[in-house]
Amino acid sequence: MSEIVCTSCGFTGESSAVTKGSIGTELVLWLFFLIPGLIYSIWRLSSKYEACPKCKQNTIIPIDSPMGKKFLKENLPDQYSATFEKKYEVNKNGLAWKLGKLVKKIVK
């Protein structure tokens, strides 16, 4: 589970694990035919993938990757500032920022 951005629908947030097939089919196969049930279960487990919880597509990229940032900036500027500008403000009050100010004073 990690923060992602979906390039299909623009969802941002946690990805979710999606399993193909249905639990109903799996149960029926297990009840009536043991071997197909087993095969079906293995297939479902092996086809599990991380996807967008909104549109179920696997067109997701990590939000803090260069591509994720680029996508957000170009397509969802509001989401971009909400996600990344907070972090920037924290940096503003950080030690590096204060040191920078101090150095400027000394130089003047």
| CB nearer to Zn ion: pick between 18 and 28 | 18
Residues that bind Zn ion (CB under 5 A): 6, 8-9, 11, 52, 54-55
| CB nearer to Zn ion: pick between 56 and 98 | 56
Q: Least distance in Å: CB of 74 to Zn ion?
A: 17
The percent of the chain in helix, strand and coil, each rounded to the nearest 5, is: 55, 15, 30
Q: Least distance in Å: CB of 62 to Zn ion?
A: 14
34-64: b or e for each residue (b if 16 or more CB lie within 10 Å)? eeebeebeeebeeeeeebbeeeeeeebbebe
Q: Least distance in Å: CB of 7 to Zn ion?
A: 8
| CB nearer to Zn ion: pick between 6 and 63 | 6
Tell me the Cα Rg of the chain: 23
Q: Least distance in Å: CB of 61 to Zn ion?
A: 11
For residue 54, give the 3-state DSSP assignment: coil
